Structure formats: C-alpha cells, structure tokens
Amino acid sequence: MAPNYVNRVTASIVVLHAFLILTQISCSFVLTPPKNYSDVDLLEFPLNLEYLEAEFFLFGSLGHGLDVVAPELAEGGPPPIGAKVARLGDLVRDVILQFGVQEIGHLRAIKSTVRGFPRPLLDLSKSSFAKIMDSAFGHPLHPPFDPYANDINYLIASYVIPYVGLTGYVGANPLLRNATSKKLVAGLLGVEAGQDAVIRTLLYERRAWKVHPYGVTVAEFTNRISTLRNKLGNEGVKDEGLGFTSPFSGNILSADNNSLSYPRTPQEILRIIYGSGNESVPGGFYPKGADGRIARYYLHDT
C-alpha cells in the first residue's frame, strides 16, 4: 500500500506543479480585463459622463460652460468642441440650466471623494450628434440633425445622455465595497434618474409630434436611439424608447419586466458613448477616449 500511496502523492505533486506553472504562464502572458474594479475606479469612471452632461447642459442653456462657471472642476482639460447655446423656450431653458447646475454638484461630489482627472476632450458639435442620429436611422438625415436648433431637437439630444449614466450607476452599485462609495452612487443615481424622467416626460407629451423637417415622430426618434444603444452596448435589451410596445399602453420610463432600471457595465457604456460599439475604439463624444483607469485600460488594450 505504501509505495502506491507514495506514487499517488508524487503524482499529485507533479500535477499541482504543472498547474501552478500553467497558471503563472497564463497570468504573465494573458492580459485579463480588470474584473475586480476598485471603488475608486468605479467612482472615477462616471466623471466622463458627468463632464459631458455638465458642458452640454450649461452651454445649451447659458452659452458657456465649466471654464466660466466652475473652472476649478475642468482642471485645465481642453474646452469642448462645438458646444453652444441652444434656441430654447423659457421652460426648457430653465430645466436644462437646473440640470447643468446639478452636474456641477455631481462633479464636485465625485472629485471630493476620489482624485479623478481633468475634463477629457469632448465633441459636442452639431455633427457629433448628427452622426448618432444618422446611425440610429441607418441613413443620413437631410438636413443633418441639429441638437441646438429648438426645444424638441435639444430634448431629443438630451435623451441620448443621462440615461446612459443612469444605467452605469445601476451597474456599478453591486460592485462597490464601502459605504461611502455606495452613498455617493445612490445619490448620483437618484438625480440622473430624475433628469431622465423629466426629459422623457417632456418628450412623452410631444411623442406624436413630427420632428421638422424629417416628418418622423418624437416617439420614433427615441425608439431608434434606444435601439442603437442596445446594438452598440451589445448585451441585450437595456433601453426602451417612448413607443416601445408593452402589454400596457405607454412607456414613460425605461425599465425591465419588474420595473427595475437596467444595469450596464463600463464596457457597454464605452461602446455606446464612443459610438463605435467597441470599448477599445474611441470616437463619438470622446475623440481621444474617456479617462480614468477603466477606460484607459481598454484604450491601451489596442
């Protein structure tokens, strides 16, 4: 019995050694994605979206952004490309200015919790939004979509952004470890969800309107944008326009069958905000890519 036992132990040790060697080889040669994001990584990542929202809403309502209103938050990052004041009525301008001020608070709250990074280069030009609409429709719109032209165009353009941040916060929440981080993300999520609800409500009221000069309804614009985001994110349905068919009429909020908000991972968010469907291929609103450890990991992956 003894030699047999010894042989078996020897065999086990050999197998164990082989396993350890193989593990070491795969650890040193295969670059694995950072699955275990730290709280700091997960709190810094959404700064990318908060910067975008702050600039889009401040410029849209005031005609200037962080460099005038809160330059310390921009930390010398390059000014956004093509952002400008929108032709808005009193109600929408009022709402959008409030959103802009909320985003300043969000930037301040995140950056007082984690170090963060300066404002990344943002492309908020008319053509950047026009490209998204062209992809959403699968053909170029004539004339190209102008987010800054009027209330309805600006609201449709706004539909593109806070919702993505909202799904990102829902996705980040279960990955967070400490109470400080969870408290911050819950606070951010609440207000992003509120912004999305306000935008959706204003659009819902006008869902049957035809957007000039395309002759396409507001509902169809939102459906197409949501479908595009689902396609770019590439992880199933996590996004629903106002005309999404459900057993009950109406779809004022986007949520799953239990009316819970959909979660998205940082990779899905990057695929959407880059417009490329690939977290390693920057573009869209972020010509040079997003910042922070998570986004940079995927950029350097190429």
Ligand X SMILES: *[C@@H]1O[C@H](CO)[C@@H](O)[C@H](O)[C@H]1NC(C)=O
- Interface residues with ligand X (CB under 6 A)? 39-40, 43, 113-114, 178, 180-181, 237, 256-257, 278, 280-281, 302
State the CB neighbour count (10 A cutoff) for residue 204.
18
Closer to ligand X by Cβ: residue 173 or 278: 278
Q: How far is the CB of 50 from ligand X (least distance, A)?
A: 16
Q: What share of the chain is helix, strand, coil (3-state, %, to 5)?
A: 60, 5, 40
State the CB neighbour count (10 A cutoff) for residue 114.
19
Judged by phi (left if over 0) then psi (alpha if -120 to 50, else beta), residue 176 lies in beta
What residue ranges in 177-282 does DSSP mark as E strands? Answer: 210-211, 216-217
Q: How far is the CB of 275 from ligand X (least distance, A)?
A: 13
Closer to ligand X by Cβ: residue 34 or 71: 34
Q: How far is the CB of 93 from ligand X (least distance, A)?
A: 35
Closer to ligand X by Cβ: residue 32 or 257: 257
Closer to ligand X by Cβ: residue 43 or 66: 43
Q: How far is the CB of 145 from ligand X (least distance, A)?
A: 27
Closer to ligand X by Cβ: residue 39 or 151: 39
Closer to ligand X by Cβ: residue 4 or 245: 245
DSSP code, position 88: -
Q: How far is the CB of 301 from ligand X (least distance, A)?
A: 7
Distances (CA, A) of 178 to 39, 43, 70, 173, 207: 7, 12, 29, 10, 42
Q: How far is the CB of 295 from ligand X (least distance, A)?
A: 14
In whole angstroms, how large is the CA radius of gyration of the chain?
23
CA angle 272, 274, 275 (to 5 degrees): 60
